[in-house]
A and B are shown apart, each in its own frame.
Chain A
């Protein structure tokens, strides 16, 4: 990007504007003479770049303030993005000449100032410390160049060899260390030990100065890259999921558009899956494909059964479940009986919706299956209905529970199923509160196996998620990627 030398009608790089439409303060990556600081400021302030350079030169006369200001801006103002190649190189001989001209005038003024009695300024800038500053400028500029080189590589796949940059880098280092050393020798006249100690200390200072740009960039790049990676992974995961589920279902719906019952069934089943995915295994309506095995808990089993009935009979089954308990054979019988009740409602009640409510409370697990359908008179039911009722009642009785059926013609039907918790096994009777303990104790083993086998794969993330969900901290020490 070339700034017109006389008129600062700065055409700012697109997409790098403040809300007010002013170019953000960024160092110009191309067309720069030293660090691109002056060009960036010119863009930002919308003034010709030469004014900025002249200001820096004038400030430099004030005990080197301009030099210090330039160096600080170079360090702390981030570099702007690289622009398309055709914009890069015409870094304009005119501008370059102009910049050197400004520098020359600045130095001339400096000498004049020295001649007029500001000798201290002269020694400061043209002495060993000035030398060190020039060296630092070399190195920092190289650092910027290296960064640009990296961008070019990743963008175009070209590895640009830069032997020259190594020489410049080396020269810069020598200048910095040499300048500081000469300064040290010139300033102090101590014993050999002391001065060598000083030399070491100053070398360290020099190294610190040399590496400042690298440290800053390292921190910035690391953050950028991590953010980018996380976003990328999330996007990929969402895209994959949407493709596998929603898009497939939409395609199916289009093909079956004439069959409203089938469309409804597909839409319901897709909605349930999406809900499970969005709201996770803790969600109330979590269905079969939740990460936890569906048969592990009462809530998951009931939700799964409700989903099956929805799919099979094209009605809405909305389970509301308060509390949870681990599954055992008695609860399995309860769920099977509840399923039977739901099937009955779906087949005979002539309704669009069946309510299912389950609660685990006071040593009892209760399930209510209710519809507002046609209902029936329990005295006059046909043999098939009585058979099913018997199978519900019989099943519950065998497991120490009860089944109550309330129904009247035109009033709907409600089936109430209960199993006392005392009839459950010891481990299950511990209840949901204590249930977390064996689970949490078992998880680290479970999680460690895939982590050891595949330390960088996706299985690590899965197991880490499960572990943190269970509240243990063991996995957080594992290296990530």
Chain B
């Protein structure tokens, strides 16, 4: 590992930022380095723009529009900065909204420090990070349970059988390595499938996805 991944923390709770910093520092993981933090949307936009980090750990729920507002203001300007959403929310609306705004992954705040560090390294390398719950949401959104859906763009609006399999294993709590072993494919292939699912989740216009993403829930 050459350069450590520069990580920036955005969360309106100072206590939580301190906790994450302490936990990541306690790992003595030289793959990552926390370079800054922000407690509000405005502060985050200014600081990320002035000195772009590699990965931004982004809280979903914040005053003034939350993580989505940060993504909307920064992502287009700085496409190289990777966003990983970190939230206590389990609502599909919130999760899908930040993913569609450009986040490359979603993990819950109860994640352990070790797993968080791994997730940060993975997204910085270009992978997507799906928690089991996010995998469940995406499977739900792409399912045909409520009858056949009019598909405008098969390339975007449908999951391939393989992608579906990978997602199901993710939802069952399998790690990439375990998925690769289960499906007799390489880890690299698993990563490719997950990235492809992420792209479809962000770009598809399936009804559930756009509905979830447009419902703004304020809690």
Binding site for B on A (CB under 8 A): 275, 278-279, 283-285, 316, 318, 320-323, 355, 357, 359-361, 368, 370, 372, 414, 431-433
Interface size on B, as a range, is 20 to 34
B residues less than 8 Å from A278 (CB atoms): 91, 219
Q: Which of B25-33, B36-44, B74-82, B129-137 contacts A (4 or more CB under 8 A)?
A: B129-137
| Residues 113-165 of B at the A interface (beta carbon under 8 Å) | 132-133, 135-137, 139-140, 143, 145-147
Closest to A371 in B: B173
- Partner among B91, B132, B139 whose Cβ is within 8 Å of the Cβ of A283: B91
Please report the C-alpha to C-alpha distance between residue A316 and residue B173 in the assembled complex, in whole angstroms: 13
Are B173 and A359 within 8 A (Cβ)? no
**Interface majority SS (helix, strand, loop, mixed), chain A:** strand
Are A320 and B136 within 8 A (Cβ)? yes
B residues less than 8 Å from A357 (CB atoms): 132, 136, 168, 171-173
Closest to B139 in A: A322
Shortest distance from the beta carbon of B143 to any chain A beta carbon, whole Å: 6
- Partner among A323, A355, A414 whose Cβ is within 8 Å of the Cβ of B145: A323
Q: Could you list 10 A-B pairs, sorted by A, with CB under 8 Å?
A: A275-B90, A284-B90, A284-B92, A318-B132, A320-B136, A322-B143, A322-B171, A357-B171, A370-B174, A414-B172
A residues less than 8 Å from B174 (CB atoms): 370
Please report the C-alpha to C-alpha distance between residue A322 and residue B142 in the assembled complex, in whole angstroms: 10
A residues less than 8 Å from B89 (CB atoms): 279
Given known A279-B91, A355-B173, A357-B168, contact A323–B143 (CB-CB < 8 A): yes
Are B168 and A359 within 8 A (Cβ)? yes
B residues less than 8 Å from A368 (CB atoms): 172
Asked if B50 lies at the interface with its beta carbon under 8 angstroms from chain A, I say: no
Asked if B110 lies at the interface with its beta carbon under 8 angstroms from chain A, I say: yes
Are B91 and A318 within 8 A (Cβ)? no
Shortest distance from the beta carbon of A154 to any chain B beta carbon, whole Å: 32
Given known A357-B168, A357-B172, A359-B168, contact A318–B133 (CB-CB < 8 A): yes
Please report the C-alpha to C-alpha distance between residue A370 and residue B172 in the assembled complex, in whole angstroms: 7
Shortest distance from the beta carbon of B75 to any chain A beta carbon, whole Å: 26
Are A433 and B90 within 8 A (Cβ)? no
Are B132 and A361 within 8 A (Cβ)? no
A residues less than 8 Å from B136 (CB atoms): 284, 320-322, 357
Shortest distance from the beta carbon of B161 to any chain A beta carbon, whole Å: 12
A residues less than 8 Å from B147 (CB atoms): 433
A residues less than 8 Å from B171 (CB atoms): 320, 322, 357, 359
Shortest distance from the beta carbon of B124 to any chain A beta carbon, whole Å: 25
Interface digits, B160-200 against A, CB 8 Å rule (1 contact, 0 not)?
00000000100111100000000000000000000000000
B residues less than 8 Å from A370 (CB atoms): 172-174
B residues less than 8 Å from A359 (CB atoms): 139, 168, 171
- Partner among B135, B145, B146 whose Cβ is within 8 Å of the Cβ of A320: B135
Please report the C-alpha to C-alpha distance between residue A323 and residue B145 in the assembled complex, in whole angstroms: 7
Please report the C-alpha to C-alpha distance between residue A285 and residue B133 in the assembled complex, in whole angstroms: 10
Please report the C-alpha to C-alpha distance between residue A359 and residue B90 in the assembled complex, in whole angstroms: 18
A residues less than 8 Å from B168 (CB atoms): 357, 359
Given known A285-B90, A355-B173, A357-B171, contact A320–B133 (CB-CB < 8 A): yes
Please report the C-alpha to C-alpha distance between residue A323 and residue B19 in the assembled complex, in whole angstroms: 36
Closest to A278 in B: B219
Please report the C-alpha to C-alpha distance between residue A432 and residue B172 in the assembled complex, in whole angstroms: 22
Given known A279-B91, A283-B90, A285-B90, contact A432–B132 (CB-CB < 8 A): no
Please report the C-alpha to C-alpha distance between residue A355 and residue B178 in the assembled complex, in whole angstroms: 14
A residues less than 8 Å from B143 (CB atoms): 322-323, 361
Interface digits, B90-105 against A, CB 8 Å rule (1 contact, 0 not)?
1110000000000000
Please report the C-alpha to C-alpha distance between residue A433 and residue B147 in the assembled complex, in whole angstroms: 7
Shortest distance from the beta carbon of B42 to any chain A beta carbon, whole Å: 17
Please report the C-alpha to C-alpha distance between residue A316 and residue B171 in the assembled complex, in whole angstroms: 16
Given known A284-B90, A322-B139, A357-B168, contact A433–B145 (CB-CB < 8 A): yes
B residues less than 8 Å from A322 (CB atoms): 136, 139-140, 143, 171
Please report the C-alpha to C-alpha distance between residue A359 and residue B139 in the assembled complex, in whole angstroms: 10
Shortest distance from the beta carbon of B201 to any chain A beta carbon, whole Å: 15
A residues less than 8 Å from B90 (CB atoms): 275, 279, 283-285
B residues less than 8 Å from A283 (CB atoms): 90-91
Are A432 and B146 within 8 A (Cβ)? yes
Please report the C-alpha to C-alpha distance between residue A431 and residue B140 in the assembled complex, in whole angstroms: 15
Closest to A268 in B: B110
A residues less than 8 Å from B146 (CB atoms): 432-433
Shortest distance from the beta carbon of A110 to any chain B beta carbon, whole Å: 56
Q: A284-B137, A320-B171 are in contact. List 7 more A-B contacts (CB 8 A).
A: A278-B91, A285-B90, A320-B132, A320-B172, A322-B171, A357-B172, A359-B171
Given known A279-B90, A360-B145, A433-B147, contact A323–B140 (CB-CB < 8 A): yes
Please report the C-alpha to C-alpha distance between residue A368 and residue B104 in the assembled complex, in whole angstroms: 27
Shortest distance from the beta carbon of B59 to any chain A beta carbon, whole Å: 16
B residues less than 8 Å from A355 (CB atoms): 132, 172-173
Can you list the 10 inter-chain pairs with the closest CB atoms, starting with the nearest? A355-B173, A320-B136, A357-B172, A322-B139, A368-B172, A433-B146, A279-B91, A357-B171, A320-B132, A320-B171
Please report the C-alpha to C-alpha distance between residue A252 and residue B194 in the assembled complex, in whole angstroms: 43
Please report the C-alpha to C-alpha distance between residue A321 and residue B132 in the assembled complex, in whole angstroms: 10
A residues less than 8 Å from B145 (CB atoms): 323, 360-361, 431-433
A residues less than 8 Å from B172 (CB atoms): 320, 355, 357, 368, 370, 414
Please report the C-alpha to C-alpha distance between residue A320 and residue B95 in the assembled complex, in whole angstroms: 14
Please report the C-alpha to C-alpha distance between residue A433 and residue B132 in the assembled complex, in whole angstroms: 24
Interface digits, B50-91 against A, CB 8 Å rule (1 contact, 0 not)?
000000000000000000000000000000000000000111
Please report the C-alpha to C-alpha distance between residue A351 and residue B160 in the assembled complex, in whole angstroms: 34
Closest to B140 in A: A322
Please report the C-alpha to C-alpha distance between residue A318 and residue B90 in the assembled complex, in whole angstroms: 11
Closest to B110 in A: A316
A residues less than 8 Å from B132 (CB atoms): 318, 320, 355, 357
